[in-house]
Amino acid sequence: MTDASASTALLTDQYELTMVQAALRSGTAHRQCTFEVFARQLPPGRRYGVVGGTGRMLEGLEQFRFGAAELEYLRRESIVDDATLQFLADYRFSGDISGYAEGEAYFPHSPVLKVTASFAEACLLETFILSVMNHDSAVTSAGSRMTLAAGGRLCLEMGGRRTQEHSAVAAARAAAVVNFAATSNLQAGREWGIPTVGTAAHSFMLLHDSEEEAFAAQVQAFGAGTTLLVDTYDVEAAVRKAVEIAGPELGAVRLDSGDLVQQAHDVRGLLDSLGNQNTQIVVSSDLDEHAIAGLAAAPVNSYGVGTRLVTGSGAPTASMVYKLVERADADGRPVPVEKASAGKTSIGGSKSVLRSIGEDGRAEAEVISAEAPVEESGYTGRTLQVPLVIGGEVQPGCTGEEGVRRAGHRHRASVHQLPAEARRLSSGEPVIPTIFA
Amino acid sequence: MTDASASTALLTDQYELTMVQAALRSGTAHRQCTFEVFARQLPPGRRYGVVGGTGRMLEGLEQFRFGAAELEYLRRESIVDDATLQFLADYRFSGDISGYAEGEAYFPHSPVLKVTASFAEACLLETFILSVMNHDSAVTSAGSRMTLAAGGRLCLEMGGRRTQEHSAVAAARAAAVVNFAATSNLQAGREWGIPTVGTAAHSFMLLHDSEEEAFAAQVQAFGAGTTLLVDTYDVEAAVRKAVEIAGPELGAVRLDSGDLVQQAHDVRGLLDSLGNQNTQIVVSSDLDEHAIAGLAAAPVNSYGVGTRLVTGSGAPTASMVYKLVERADADGRPVPVEKASAGKTSIGGSKSVLRSIGEDGRAEAEVISAEAPVEESGYTGRTLQVPLVIGGEVQPGCTGEEGVRRAGHRHRASVHQLPAEARRLSSGEPVIPTIFA
């Protein structure tokens, strides 16, 4: 994460490698396979999910190489045998990956990724792909509800300190996918060109001998357009001092505690009475989609969202799985496969999918077919699976800054196409049914 | 994470840097400060927390340097001015950090870390320290309940695919701190010498033309002592095949779905009847501390724990904060400071703390003093704050493999000293009160 050239190949579970060893021995390692990534359910009560992490996964795929240091660890610890080490040393993913474009809405059983390659090549990627998709999709799925609840107001991602330091970077990117306007996280700014924000914390106020001195120091350093934090002591007194020091050009004040609705009204009134009609109000105290909705009628300009965003607002993982659905037999013919484990059944066969769209232009169903192509099902609508990797080559437009930008546009369009009930924050069923055609 | 030499300095919020800029301008940047890390509450219903991440934070501290690439990003994006860039280029933390040793139990307001340095030096570390401690302590706090519930049975960490790929590595380490015996995560094995485990998934079973062929392939590759996954199709039939193929030396069978209590009894009986008294049973399906407790009477040998561990079993962040509690005034004299923000008050002054121990050898209270040294309070007990960094030098024994090993020993001792109610999984109050003396 901090070093784009670092190998991602050991960010995995041991059994991915031991399976390769056993399959190399049994002669099945090179059987052509299709694995699919899907979630059996959405988090309880959620009406849709949002695919996140696709671009980041593809960036990591390009670094999924076993270099000398990785191989030496595996050899020293006798994790796999020499034949497997040789296979790993030469490993380059040469298969195909297709899937939902990042930012797209998904539903139970939506095949958000499909990996087609030899067993050994595809098996090795399982843990890495799931780690990226499960984390990032948890954040995008939560964050989408927040930006919808915020309407036209800006959402700012500020949760880095409440999650692991590298998850923080990924969460900032996921927030951008679901149309957060900026992040506090500098590494995310550096990696994907996401706009960054940040001015001062309470410690800066306490560092100075008075609130006036702290405000003056900040205005001197960053100009009157800065955002002053006004709740360290007494909010009303602080707003008056802020206006006195920064003048009518004061950019914004930030409220980070207490009854935000009441305070927003009080502070707006006070700012207006002091002639600061253009000074904005930023709020940032334990916000989630419900708190944002509760502030809809309050005179607030932007929302700083932290803990609840980066922890998935009650659903910290998207619970996606990576399941073998088809593999070649000894003669190279494709065979659909599925397990029968209690409560964890899978549906065999490589899936095709479309989102059926009604006459009003809104989505009506997620239609999945494991047999004939879904187009033959009689349903019509929008296809969802796009090529992401062809013959080992990551396709253009999915990664880097462009990937985030495109995902942001796609998220808007995809959510706009959902039925209006998608905006409801109360618990409910998925907003469209998943149909196996 | 994947590259120990990578800079950690941009894994931070922008405002840490802008505060330094403003403080450099106002002449307050070099005021001596003490920041403390603490949690205002434990997660709802929890009886204790466990400090996690200390060693990993100290490892990252040594890489907290602004190199040419980091400075170039900050310059290009005009995030701070030239004077601040110069300060950052020379930045080396030269202060002191003391705190609870990793693996120690903590309670509301326990000052788990204390950072003493100039404002600029200490301020810069806020986000990074909180990210590491909040994540890792969430996992250790959840995992401790699991290893306690497991009694003498082994717990195995297998959650990497349900959390971000670098969080997975940190979570595997955190699990080791609270006495998990092994992890599936290879990078954690590589970085901290944590034992790794893993054999095969359902996909390996489905890859082969029959379950017999899959079992035979695995036994051929890894010997009869391997663990065979027996719930892909029919459990009873699979156990019979497994014993037939691997013989009496079969190491273990793994159950990953269904009613684990009933199945464990059935499978144990079947294994015994087939002469496989030494074959162990591993279970691994959505386990948490409650499920583990529910399996206490079932004939299970070890628990593979995933999602619920790495997501903190309902509390994905420890919600620790980093608060300025004391700073020098213009004359260099220390001044305790605290904010008055509604619902987020802090208690000024650098804290000392001891855990008072009763005549039965059990902990009775967390005694914190912000005024005189806590030893003068009349309470007696065990001191908790140890030096971690002195004059910028990380103290020996806290980091690397040794750090994890020592934290594991400390965790056992610390939890053993808590009142017996600490083992209760039901919701309740912290098992000892926090007293401000």
pLDDT tens by residue, B117-165: 999 999 999 999 999 999 999 999 999 999 999 999 999 999 999 999 9
Closest CA to A307 of B52, B319, B40, B45: B319
Instruction: Give, in order, the Cα–Cα distances in Å from B155 to each of B136, B141, B143.
Output: 17, 15, 9
- The answer to whether the CB atoms of B184 and A13 lie below 8 A apart is yes
Q: Is B224 on the interface with A (CB under 8 A)?
A: no
Q: How far apart are CA B322 and CA B122, in angstroms?
A: 10
Please answer whether residues A42 and A51 qualify as being in contact, where contact means their C-beta atoms are separated by less than 8 angstroms: no
Cα atoms in the Cβ-side hemisphere of radius 13 Å centred on B357 = 13
Lowest-confidence range among A336-345, A405-414, B113-122, B420-429? A336-345
pLDDT at B200: 94
* Mean pLDDT for all residues in chain A: 96
Q: Check if the interface score ipTM surpasses 0.95.
A: yes
Please answer whether residues A338 and A346 qualify as being in contact, where contact means their C-beta atoms are separated by less than 8 angstroms: yes
CA distance B83 to chain A (A): 11
Q: What percent of chain B is modeled with pLDDT above 70?
A: 99
Q: Is B316 on the interface with A (CB under 8 A)?
A: yes
Q: Is A170 on the interface with B (CB under 8 A)?
A: yes
Closest CA to B199 of B317, B308, B124, B280: B280
Determine the average pLDDT of the residues in B198-208.
Answer: 95
Q: Is A200 on the interface with B (CB under 8 A)?
A: yes
Q: Is A426 on the interface with B (CB under 8 A)?
A: no
Please answer whether residues B194 and B172 qualify as being in contact, where contact means their C-beta atoms are separated by less than 8 angstroms: yes
Is residue B318 helix, strand or coil? Answer: coil
Q: How far apart are CA B224 and CA B209, in angstroms?
A: 21
- Whether residue B4 has pLDDT greater than 90: no
Q: How far apart are CA B58 and CA B51, in angstroms?
A: 14
pLDDT at B371: 79
Q: How far is CA A237 from the centre of its chain?
A: 40
- The answer to whether the CB atoms of B13 and A160 lie below 8 A apart is yes
Q: Output the DSSP codes for B29-75.
A: TTSEEEEEEEESSPSTT-S-EE---HHHHHHHHTT----HHHHHHHH
Handedness of CA A63, A66, A72, A76 (dihedral sign): positive
Please answer whether residues B374 and B382 qualify as being in contact, where contact means their C-beta atoms are separated by less than 8 angstroms: no
Please answer whether residues A250 and A241 qualify as being in contact, where contact means their C-beta atoms are separated by less than 8 angstroms: no
Q: How far apart are CA B176 and CA B77, in angstroms?
A: 41
CB atoms within 10 A of CB B45: 12
Q: How far apart are CA A391 and CA A158, in angstroms?
A: 39
How is residue B162 written in tokens?
Answer: 């349900």
Q: How far apart are CA A250 and CA A240, in angstroms?
A: 11
Residues of chain B contacting A16 with CB distance shorter than 8 Å:
198
Task: Give the pLDDT band of residue A3 (cuts 50, 70, 90).
Answer: very low
pLDDT at A5: 56
pLDDT digit string, tens, across residues B11-43: 999 999 999 999 999 999 999 999 999 999 999
pLDDT at A347: 87
Closest CA to B68 of B7, B122, B124, B110: B7
- The answer to whether the CB atoms of B167 and A169 lie below 8 A apart is no
pLDDT at A344: 73
**Residue in chain B nearest A323 by alpha carbon:** B203
How is residue B157 written in tokens?
Answer: 């960490």
Lowest-confidence range among A53-67, B181-195, B233-247, B336-350? B336-350
pLDDT at B5: 56
Q: How far apart are CA B357 and CA B27, in angstroms?
A: 45
Residues of chain A contacting B200 with CB distance shorter than 8 Å:
15, 18-19, 22
- The answer to whether the CB atoms of B222 and A18 lie below 8 A apart is yes
Q: Is B434 on the interface with A (CB under 8 A)?
A: no
The DSSP letter of residue B392 is T
- The answer to whether the CB atoms of B131 and A165 lie below 8 A apart is yes
Residues of chain A contacting B128 with CB distance shorter than 8 Å:
165
Determine the average pLDDT of the residues in A1-8.
Answer: 62
CA distance B358 to chain A (A): 35
Q: How far apart are CA B144 and CA B136, in angstroms?
A: 12
Residues within 8 A of A (CB atoms), B 322-381 only: 322-324, 327, 329-330, 337-344
How is residue A141 written in tokens?
Answer: 């799925």
- The answer to whether the CB atoms of B17 and A258 lie below 8 A apart is no
The pTM score is: 0.97
Q: Is B119 on the interface with A (CB under 8 A)?
A: yes
pLDDT digit string, tens, across residues B381-411: 999 999 999 999 999 999 999 999 999 999 9
Q: Which of A73, A80, A161 to mutate to test the interface with B (most CBs of B within 10 A)?
A: A161
* Beta carbon pairs, A and B, within 8 Å: 368
Q: How far apart are CA A185 and CA B129, in angstroms?
A: 14
Q: Output the DSSP codes for B272-300.
A: HHTT-TT-EEEE-SS--HHHHHHTTTS--
Determine the average pLDDT of the residues in A317-329.
Answer: 97
Q: Which domains does chain A have, with CATH numbers?
A: 14-124+319-436 (3.20.140.10), 148-313 (3.20.20.70)
